[in-house]
A and B are shown apart, each in its own frame.
Chain A
Amino acid sequence: MSDLRELYQETILDHYRQPRNFCKPDHANCMASGHNPLCGDQVRLYLQVENGIVCDVGFEGSGCAISTASASLMTEVIKGKSKAQALDLLNSFQDMVTGRAPADGMGKLAALAGVREFPQRVKCATLAWHTMKAALEDAHEAVTTE
């Protein structure tokens, strides 16, 4: 049961109940959709990128607590970052939730470190992040976790 508390930390539940940046920013200029066919999670991510910097970010969609909280936390963390920094964070985040790297230095994203004990949930946690990458790379195809 300790794994359970580790997975569903208060931060996760808070971001699930009240997702941050749950909107479409007025001046968004990059967009991508993500879909996890396994559980039906859907996310649409909007970014406003100016001079290589993520000035604003928001998301819409529906999903489980892990995918929603992950999307919400991500929008908070990447705002103000450069594209390169945002993509670096994606790699670090993936390493953390798959157990390849510790949560040290991950800041508030460390709340999702518990996912490493639940391999079936890694796709939920990374959905928004893959969608962010697609948006930054201006991909027009919807991202899926499969």
Chain B
Amino acid sequence: MNQTEQESFRNNIQSTELAGDGFLVSLWRNDFPILQATVHGVPLAYLDNAATTQKPLSVIDAENYYYRNNNANVHRGIHALSQRATDAFEAARVKVQHFINAASPNEIVFVRGTTEAINLVAQSYGRSFFKADDEIIVSRMEHHSNIVPWQILCEQTGAVLRVIPVNSSGELEFEAYNRLFNQRTRLVAVTHVSNALGTINPVRAMIDLARIRGVPVLLDGAQAIAHMPVDVQELDCDFYAFSGHKLYGPTGIGVLYAKSALLDIMPPYQGGGDMIRSVSFDGTVYNSIPYKFEAGTPNIAGVIGLGAAVDYLSNIGFDKLIRHEQALLGYATQSVMDIPGVRIIGNALEKTGILSFVLEGVHPHDIGSILDLQGVAIRTGHHCTMPLMKHFGVSATARASFGLYNTKDEVDKLVAAIFHVKEVFGV
């Protein structure tokens, strides 16, 4: 092939790939019944996926099927339904294990969500092993749910928080992180991806630094889990927390991954049924992991729905999903940046599909209301990251966040809606 032919070949491949992605996205969209909805009489453009994602039919059907056909309590009935429910419940645990490449299903603890997972680690691991003046490293970009559980623990134990600063692009200052370590450092608890900015943190390198010093690491994976492959063994993190509802699964179900050696030495978080082996008034013997941490009847339907969500994402494949979401982020960033008066908050080199912005002369809350009337659903506010907002000198931002089913057409609607905000406010 001569050079012109090569170029034309490459262009053809590119356009084929783009057309292919558009076709794939239209197929994916068909899996989500709610995307057909209208709000205020106009089609919905759902751009609030960092808050929660919509659910594919397979997830809705999995819960529905369970309640219609298999509903029973798990791990305790002798009858057929209980066995079916238990099998489905434990099969989902194995799906989650494979999804994040945990070494064993025993390392998958089902909890209500990321928040509960972090609280579990704080109250079980932290409260047992931390003492006064011990130090916990968090970052300035943490969601409140990766700050407040540690503050509570600090009040209980006298431990103190050390905070990794953030630069003006919204990236962690790696050198400053390195300098925070000392003899009293007991844990690093950082977010994998920032919910307010989309920044993907260099967690692999951060874990390496902590590992050298023998400090365990907890990753808040709430915003990462649906947007990139997560391999907990490759990362070598000690704890990984995420929520089902951010990866196209149900609300009220989440996962704490922890290395089995840690789960073994951690005391129970809550007492109750299923977490015990035997109870007498002389003493109680706890169940083995992970059941030691799963007191009470669990969210069985939620776990089964989460299993279906994991299947759904695995079938799509992260390679296709990342290509689409990154292309969409690039397109949206360029389009929104070109609007006069807009400032994008968070310009990290490595980002997931989150676009936080402010508009000169208009409060984000007003942007949110006006966009909503045009069918464009975004989040406005501090995104439960008040220290980060303070860092950027804003009280709130408007945040569009993309999922696998979002399209360029929806980005165009977002942009048109922002222009409408400018028109209403005369800015």
Contact = CB atoms under 8 A, between A and B. Distances in A.
Interface of A: 1, 3-4, 7-8, 13, 17, 38-42, 62-66, 68, 118, 120-121, 124
Contact of B382 (A3, A7, A40, A118): A40
Contacts of A13: 424-426
Given A4-B373, A64-B365, 19 more contacts: A3-B373, A7-B369, A13-B424, A13-B425, A38-B381, A39-B363, A39-B365, A39-B380, A40-B395, A41-B365, A42-B395, A63-B365, A64-B364, A64-B366, A65-B366, A65-B425, A66-B366, A121-B369, A124-B365
A68 B380 CA distance: 17
A68 B362 CA distance: 12
A125 to B, nearest CB: 12
Interface in B360-414: 361-366, 369-370, 373, 380-382, 386, 389, 395-396
Nearest to A42: B395
Nearest to B389: A40
Nearest to B42: A1
A66 B370 CA distance: 12
Given A8-B425, A13-B425, A13-B426, A40 B396 contact: yes
Given A42-B395, A65-B425, A4 B363 contact: no
Nearest to A7: B369
Contacts of B425: 8, 13, 65
Contacts of B363: 39, 63-65, 68
Contacts of B364: 39, 64
Q: Which 7 A-B residue pairings sit nearest by Cβ, starting from the closest?
A: A40-B395, A64-B363, A64-B365, A39-B365, A40-B396, A65-B366, A64-B366
Contact of B424 (A8, A63, A64): A8
B381 A40 contact: yes
Nearest to A62: B395
Interface residues of B, number: 19
9 contacts: A3-B373, A13-B426, A17-B361, A39-B363, A40-B395, A42-B395, A65-B366, A66-B365, A121-B365
A6 B369 CA distance: 13
Given A4-B370, A8-B425, A121-B369, A65 B395 contact: no
Contact of B369 (A17, A40, A68, A118): A118
Interface of B: 361-366, 369-370, 373, 380-382, 386, 389, 395-396, 424-426
Contacts of A3: 373
B303 to A, nearest CB: 32
Q: Identify the interface centre among A39, A66, A120: most chain B CB within 10 Å of its CB.
A: A39
Contacts of A68: 363
A63 B395 CA distance: 9
Given A65-B362, A66-B366, A39 B426 contact: no
Contacts of A118: 369
Contacts of B373: 1, 3-4
A40 B364 CA distance: 10
A17 B360 CA distance: 12
Contact of B396 (A4, A8, A39, A120): A39
A38 B424 CA distance: 23
Contacts of A63: 363, 365
Nearest to A68: B363
A113 to B, nearest CB: 16
Contacts of B365: 39, 41, 63-64, 66, 121, 124
A68 B373 CA distance: 21
Contacts of A7: 369
A65 B426 CA distance: 13
Nearest to B394: A40
Contacts of B426: 13
Nearest to A10: B426
A32 to B, nearest CB: 19
Chain A CB count within 10 A is highest, among B362, B380, B395, for B395
A7 B424 CA distance: 10
Nearest to A17: B361
A1 B426 CA distance: 16
A124 B369 CA distance: 12
A38 to B, nearest CB: 6
A37 B50 CA distance: 19
A12 to B, nearest CB: 10
